[in-house]
Structure 1
Amino acid sequence: MLSTWLEDRQIPLYLIALLAGAGFGLLAPTPAAGLEIAITPVLRLLLYATFLSIPLTRLGQVVYEGRFLAGLVVLNFVIVPVVVFALSRFVADHPALSLGVLFVLLTPCIDYVIVFSGLAGAAHERLLAAAPLLMLGQMLLLPVYLGLFVGPELVDVIDIGPFVEAFGLLIVVPLVLAAATQFLAARARLAQRVMRSFETLMVPLVMLTLAVVVASQIDAVRIELDQLLRVIPLYVLFLMVMIPLGVLTGRVFTQDTATTRATVFSGATRNSLVVLPLALALPDSLALVAVVVVTQTLVELIGMVIYVRLIPRIIPDRATVR
């Protein structure tokens, strides 16, 4: 079966997609840069496919799972800011680098974390149900943390509009369409075929998303690489540190295996594609912030490919984290 063949080979296929995107972006930077407009549509399609695989009628039950939600809130809005502040001190002498690191690392992911966590056997339906809470929390707290870490003068130049727009386009629209498809699948063969088709297309859609993001952004990273070399190790260190911190959070809140994996993924993945419009809206003197955010995307995508294979080994099946 094609879907099984693809799933069994998903890690090397994702690496191929990353390399293909990087190669195209470096060899043909002008047309590759034009692919930036395709990021949101491709990501929306990927999330639609992901939502189709989740029994959406059970999402209401997740809201009442207090230990999971409490763990997410503590990890993302208490522990992560401490880690991020410490990491940002290494680039505190460079305002654009520092602001870029804070922008992207202070905001928990609400989109493709659902995809990658699901591939690792995490409770991705719980992350979907928690997305509104995580989105609201970062909208309210990002200006607060920026004011504390770099000064209140930057708060006035931040527009939360892109947050709201991204939430609607990347979460609400695909979710509503997926719910409608699931509803119709019980009554119409066409909807059933759509669901089966997207089940097969999941891995190719992840590959397409990886290739488009990398191809459209890699040349901008190349141009500023000398400065970005200061933040790349910070992003790698963040991914490494968040594994034990996520596992510890799972233990403190007595989460089971799938839920702990979801907590680790939530703590490690950041909202780069959503905060990018915020970075692009900053004054020209802070133009480098957008490239700093994009660099985190590239590092994280590679990290997520590794996480999909690594996290199930660190948090094995048939074990409850206590």
Structure 2
Amino acid sequence: MRSVIVWGERHQVALYLAAISAGGVLGLRVPSAARPLEIAITPVLAVLLFATFLGVPFPAIGRAFRDGRFLAVLLAVNFVIVPVVVFGLSRFVAQDAALLAGVLLVLLTPCVDYVIVFTGLGGGAKERLLAAAPILMLGQMLLLPLFLWWFVGVELVRTVELTPFIEAFVWVILLPLAAAGAVQYAASRSRWGRSVEAVAADAMVPLMMLTLAVVVASQVHGVSARLADLWVAVPIFLGFAALMLPLGAVAGRVSKLGVPARRAIVFSGATRNSLVVLPLALALPASFALAPLVVVTQTIVELIVMVAFVRLVPRLIRTGEIS
């Protein structure tokens, strides 16, 4: 069993691509599976984040929360640099209100869940991103209406419900974090707690594969049905990732952060909160019916990009560089 786990960790990128492909095939061949799989996204993601949080010592989270320079760079990248990039890219779909709404909703909101997993896989400071998650969530809740007002107008702002932000934060961040804390506490006092930690660490690759497959399988059929309308958004999402990679790297380097922190900045700047804003898009009026599919399209594109980033970011920001 140990040799299988080691093999999986060594070939994890290929396995993630296989999981995305398998999810795509399942979603296209069995459209009726989309709804139950969509319901499964939140619990599957919560289990993945629980396993991730178990691998982050809670004292490290406390230290990261007091890291003012990292937090300042993280906030500047996500709430200053990203909006400028998004405004420029969104001009390519400014003539279509539904496309524009979907692009803005998903690209203006930084990810607070599986970005932590990908950051860890890419050798980044995942404990720092975990500590910053509440601040990023609060920041996007407060600033998203303001950005939408600036970029679109007051009509779209009035239709946005922020309740899904709160629900997602509770189910995907707070509860898994509390459970991980309880297990870490038990691990310091009992054998069963240490056993749970070991099992969770060994299950990271399968859990990530399951998450990727479930997300893609639940959404790919809806995207394929409107592919002709959605195709224009794909270059925007690819362009966003391509721009945020060097911009995040430069921001981290100029701020003289260490290598793991700079990698974390890159992953945070490029990864968006699609699974949380999807309910926001679904709550828009019927005239914006395409917006949720735009968000889903970004999810599929981003998952593929993140698998590439796991290999690319460590090569771009290498251990041993002068900070």
Structure 1: 4+ residue segments shifted above 4 A? none
Tell me what 1:130 maps to. 132
Structure 2: distance between partners of 1:36 and 1:63: 33
TM-superposed deviation, 1:188: 1.4
Of 146, 150, 153, which residue of structure 2 is paired with 1:151? Answer: 153
Q: State the 1:5 CA deviation.
A: 1.8
Write out aligned runs for 1:79-90 (5 A). 79-90=81-92
Distance 2:167 2:321 in 1: 39
Taking only the aligned residue pairs, the percentage that are identical comes to 57
Structure-2 separation of matches of 1:77 and 1:14 = 30
Q: CA deviation at 1:40?
A: 0.3
**Unmatched segments (≥5 aa) in structure 2:** none
1:3–1:199 contact (8 Å) kept in structure 2: no
From 21, 43, 55, give the equivalent of 1:41: 43
**Structure 1 residues not aligned, in runs of 5+:** none
Task: Provide the residue aligned with 2:189 in structure 1.
Answer: 187
In the TM superposition, residue 4 of structure 1 has moved relative to its aligned partner by: 2.0
Letter in 1 for 2:30: A
CA distance, structure 2, for counterparts of residue 193 and residue 309 of structure 1:
30
What residue in structure 1 maps to residue 116 of structure 2? 114
Partner of 1:212: 214
Name 2:297's counterpart in structure 1: 295
Residues 5-48 of structure 1 show CA distances to partners (whole Å, capped at 9, x for unaligned) of: 21101011001101000001111111234210000000000000
- Equivalent pairs counted in the alignment come to 321
Aligned to 1:241: 243
Contact 1:255–1:320 (Cα < 8 Å) also in 2: no
| Rounded Cα–Cα distance in structure 2 between residues aligned with 1:59 and 1:33 | 36
Q: Is residue 238–residue 268 contact of structure 1 (8 Å, CA) maintained in 2?
A: yes
1:190-211 deviation line (CA, Å, top 9, x unaligned) = 1111111111100000000000
Structure 2 matches for 1:84-99, cutoff 5 A? Answer: 84-99=86-101
| Counterparts of 1:226 and 1:34, CA distance in 2 | 26
1:256 aligns with 2:228: no
Q: Give the letter for the 1:198 counterpart.
A: A
The partner residue of 1:271 within 264, 270, 273 is 273
1:263 and 1:123 mapped to 2: Cα distance? Answer: 9
Q: Which amino acid aligns with 2:186?
A: L
**Equivalents in 2 of 1:111, 1:53: separation in Å?**
15
Shift of 1:295: 0.5
- Matched to 1:315, the amino acid is I
Q: Please, which of 161, 164, 167 is the counterpart of residue 166 of structure 2? A: 164
TM-score (norm 1): 0.98
Which one is further off, 50-59 or 199-208?
A: 50-59
